[in-house]
Chains A and B, each alone.
Chain A
Amino acid sequence: MKRDLKLRDVAVLGVGHTKFGRSPEKSLMDLFGEAALEAIRASNIEKERIEAVFVGQHVGELTDGVSNFAPFAAAEIGLAGVPAVRTEGACASSSVAFREAYLLVATGVYDVVLVGGVERLLSAGTALGTRALATSADGVYEFNAGLTFPGIFAMAAILYSQKYGIPLDELREKMAHVSIKNHKYGALNPKAQFYKKYGDLKVEDVLNSRMIAYPLTLLDCCPMTDGAAAVVLAEASIAEKHVDKPIYVLGAGLSSAGGIYRQRDVTVPMSRVRSCKMAFEQAGLTPEDVDVVELHDCFTIAEIIASEAMGFFEFGEGADAVAEGKTKIGGKVAINPSGGLIGKGHPVGATGVSQIYAIVKQLRNEMEPRELQVHNAKIGMTDTLGGDFGTICNIILSTERRGEA
């Protein structure tokens, strides 16, 4: 982005979030409408003020036989006629939607917009869901070998073990702590797919659950999920007139990469390093300033890799950090207090905005239940990964306007 570009301050107003889990009775549109209307109501703003709709949606074609989702989504909530745009960046689809919407408000194209995301993967079943997700890796040179997403991160775990000289069995035990932590928080979160489930896992439970892609077991993996999330974004002075606690967008990074075989060492994903640098530079902040993080723990090893590339830990130290409790609520930096993808669920197209929802709740000191609230959280950050590090999007949010924090 041009350095001299004048950006207006932009803030999040209301937020909406469905209960993540299995929703066979609700269509993609039912889920989207539920989250979108919750966000609009919480914004205390006339719906007619919304000038455009942005929706992140990944594989509706395969799971629900639906494409061209955005115009139908706008019509569903009574906004037929406004520009309506779908973004597709795999698991980062709605983070990309949020960033594009943010930039268009920041540059003055719109004053008020709605951003949402939705997916139905659990209702699609495991085989179709796995096939649908595999479309976001290299559809020719990775899919031909039958490579799946658990497989991609399984290979990343082995690269990590080799690179840092951590014996694989030892690394698997450290990885298990990601699952234990995120399931503990997810079990407390009423919006989570695994609410009241798996809240007291042991290392052995993770190691001994069903093998999905060696060395990753079922409990190393996030689940397939149905769900939706939405937020209203507006120019900051408008936001301040309508809600008591606007949450300001300070930075929004986005980067890209080709297949894993071109990236080679995915323990240091360059797309994430670049995206985070972009977001931190825009915000004028460093990783040390961040109080709470919702990052892309699609697999246990993925959280470790992300916690390093985002700058919270040195490369090679993320596995020890989680095992030593440094990423718990109250630790050096609270990572995934909502339960993350592993505990809360991963409705792919909705995940980015769900992370924004969780950070907004934290920064407003409104996280429920209260034991999931990070004390005195002022700066929060999201990290969403699409495909095999092909799309990485990072958003930095704050209780204060730019320059005042």
Chain B
Amino acid sequence: MGKLTFKAYFDALREGKLLGLKCKACGKVTCPPMSVCQECGADELEVVEMKNSGVIKTFTVIHVAPAGLENEAPYVVCEVETDDGPWLVGRLDIKPEEASIELVGRRVTITGQELPPERHYPDKERRVVPLFKLS
């Protein structure tokens, strides 16, 4: 079993599959991938397909974007607690003007969205981001 690379993780996400690493020591799931379990630090991990669902914990509307992403603004970024435990940063699929504090606690499904690469981003071919849709 090799480490789940960022490329393999995003290639799967682009196909709609959320991959995580299940720890053989504590049973908890790590996502996005790391070299060890994010809960206990053990390094015996197996790749598993996670549930494509979770809850919005917090969000923001980005009005001023970094160089390279100016054309995407404004956009909504949020953190979602997945039903398997790990939190993820991603984009929320709503119009920015519809974002309000009522989003916190809403359930979402998780897919992947492909966006144009950016000069300094490590994958020079594509930039895949978790895309959350209100369910």
In contact, B61 and A213 (Cβ under 8 angstroms): yes
In contact, B77 and A146 (Cβ under 8 angstroms): yes
In contact, B60 and A213 (Cβ under 8 angstroms): yes
Write out the residue numbers on chain A whose beta carbons fall within 8 Å of the beta carbon of B69: 146
Write out the residue numbers on chain B whose beta carbons fall within 8 Å of the beta carbon of A258: 34, 38
With A131-B68, A155-B79 in contact, is A262–B61 under 8 Å at CB?
no
A140 to B122, CA, bound (A): 7
A156 to B69, CA, bound (A): 22
In contact, A150 and B77 (Cβ under 8 angstroms): no
In contact, A159 and B57 (Cβ under 8 angstroms): yes
With A127-B70, A214-B99 in contact, is A155–B60 under 8 Å at CB?
yes
22 A-B contact pairs sorted by A residue (CB < 8 Å): A131-B67, A139-B120, A140-B122, A141-B6, A141-B32, A141-B88, A146-B65, A146-B72, A147-B77, A147-B89, A148-B64, A148-B65, A148-B66, A150-B60, A155-B60, A155-B77, A155-B78, A159-B57, A161-B101, A214-B61, A261-B79, A261-B86
In contact, A151 and B88 (Cβ under 8 angstroms): no
Q: Does B134 contact A (CB under 8 A)?
A: no
| Least CB separation from B64: chain A residue | A212
Can you list, as one digit per residue, whether each of B88-109 has a CB less than 8 Å from chain A (1) or not (0)? 1111000000010100100000
Can you list, as one digit per residue, whether each of B1-23 has a CB less than 8 Å from chain A (1) or not (0)? 00000100000000000000000
Write out the residue numbers on chain A whose beta carbons fall within 8 Å of the beta carbon of B115: 144
Q: Top 8 closest A-B pairs, CB basis?
A: A154-B60, A131-B66, A127-B67, A131-B67, A214-B61, A261-B87, A155-B58, A130-B66
Write out the residue numbers on chain B whose beta carbons fall within 8 Å of the beta carbon of A262: 38, 87
Q: Does A80 contact B (CB under 8 A)?
A: no
A142 to B6, CA, bound (A): 13
Write out the residue numbers on chain A whose beta carbons fall within 8 Å of the beta carbon of B67: 127-128, 130-131
Q: Which residues of B contact A (CB under 8 A)?
A: 6, 32, 34, 38, 57-70, 72-73, 75, 77-79, 81, 86-91, 99, 101, 104, 115, 120-122, 127-130
With A158-B104, A159-B57 in contact, is A135–B89 under 8 Å at CB?
no
Write out the residue numbers on chain B whose beta carbons fall within 8 Å of the beta carbon of A127: 65-67, 70
A150 to B62, CA, bound (A): 8
A130 to B63, CA, bound (A): 12
Q: Which residues of A contact B (CB under 8 A)?
A: 126-128, 130-131, 134-135, 138-148, 150-151, 154-156, 158-159, 161-162, 168, 210-216, 258-262, 264
A147 to B115, CA, bound (A): 14
In contact, B130 and A145 (Cβ under 8 angstroms): yes
Partner of A260, one of B38, B72, B79, B129: B79
In contact, A145 and B77 (Cβ under 8 angstroms): yes
Shortest CB-to-CB span from B57 to chain A, Å, is 7
| Least CB separation from B103: chain A residue | A158
Shortest CB-to-CB span from A98 to chain B, Å, is 29
Shortest CB-to-CB span from A213 to chain B, Å, is 5
Shortest CB-to-CB span from A257 to chain B, Å, is 12
Write out the residue numbers on chain A whose beta carbons fall within 8 Å of the beta carbon of B120: 131, 135, 139
In contact, A146 and B79 (Cβ under 8 angstroms): no
Shortest CB-to-CB span from B35 to chain A, Å, is 11
Shortest CB-to-CB span from A241 to chain B, Å, is 49
Count chain A CB atoms within 10 A of each CB in B88, B99, B129, B130 and give the residue with the most.
B129
Write out the residue numbers on chain B whose beta carbons fall within 8 Å of the beta carbon of A215: 60
Write out the residue numbers on chain B whose beta carbons fall within 8 Å of the beta carbon of A159: 57-58
A150 to B64, CA, bound (A): 9
| Least CB separation from A126: chain B residue | B64
In contact, A134 and B128 (Cβ under 8 angstroms): no
| Least CB separation from A149: chain B residue | B66
Shortest CB-to-CB span from B127 to chain A, Å, is 5
In contact, B89 and A141 (Cβ under 8 angstroms): yes
Write out the residue numbers on chain B whose beta carbons fall within 8 Å of the beta carbon of A138: 89
With A131-B67, A147-B89 in contact, is A139–B60 under 8 Å at CB?
no
